[in-house]
Amino acid sequence: MKRLNVLITNWRAVNDVGAVAWFANALGAAVWIKAYDGARWLDLGEPFCVIAHKLQQYGVDVGAWGYHYGGLGEENLLLECYFYRGDLEGYEGPRAGLLIDAEIEFERSGGLANARRQVDRIKASPIPVPIYYTSFAFPRLHSAFPYAVFNELSGGHVPQVYYNHHGWACPADSVIISLQQHHASGIRLAGVMLPIYDAGPESGWRPTPDDFHQAAFAAAASNVPSLWTWTWEQHTWADKVALWHHQLLVGAVKVQ
């Protein structure tokens, strides 16, 4: 497993650069901060670049992400996450990369054209870091989603793999089925996004520690490039210890 990536959805609920940096460095993790939602900046308390720069001064690799609805101008905020630096000496932008969260809105009428517009504009920009997207885990169940268009982004796809979908109760099976469908569809895979336990209920369901470990090891055994988890502000001490143990174990296992 090349990299652990942990998403932060609500920076204000964290609001502690030192603590985030300590955990990120202990885990060897990149930290991805949600900076915008659609075409509006989120209120982080400080500009994204200021927070990112502070984390970078602790040696943390930082990325930026936001939710895309397919509206006009949304890609502008993604680009500005990288290009806006203010007067911060030594700040190089979100070096881990940029992440687009694109979901049901792009399955609807006009979604393909909106994806095409956003991706073309992003590809035309001189951003030197990877640009990823995250969306549905099972392409066969979401044939209307424009994977082929988003697949043109430099980073590739990070599917959001839950463990209780469509009768696949086994977390390892959920990961493996997702990977198989990606390979069969020619979708470039950049990692898997897993909910970690105590990260909050999803439709009345809460993953367990064992769910997370089964899914994470299935990904590691399948040589997935990276593991992504969410969401940092809801991770407990136990969650972070579990991630730390997982990183140690994966680092000790040589997968052929």
Question: What confidence tens digit (pLDDT) does each residue in 91-116 have?
Answer: 888 999 999 999 999 999 889 999 99
Reply yes or no: is the peptide bond before residue 231 cis, omega within 30 of 0: yes
With both helix axes pointing from N to C terminus, report the angle between 171-185 and 209-221 in degrees, rounded to the nearest 10: 40
Res. 256 pLDDT band, cuts 50 70 90? very low
β-strand partners of 217: none
Q: What is the CATH number that goes with domain 3-252?
A: 3.20.20.80
Q: Calculate mean pLDDT across residues 208-215.
A: 86
pLDDT tens across 68-89, in order?
999 888 999 999 998 887 778 8
Work out whether the CA dihedral 86, 122, 98, 164 comes out positive or negative: positive
Q: Is the pLDDT of residue 1 over 60?
A: no
Q: Which of 215, 233, 232 has its CA nearest to residue 224? A: 215
The type of residue at 76 is N
pLDDT number for residue 225: 87
Res. 170 pLDDT band, cuts 50 70 90? confident
> What is the percent of the chain where pLDDT is above 90?
60
How far is the C-alpha of 84 from the C-alpha of 53, rounded, in Å? 12
pTM of this prediction?
0.92
pLDDT number for residue 252: 64
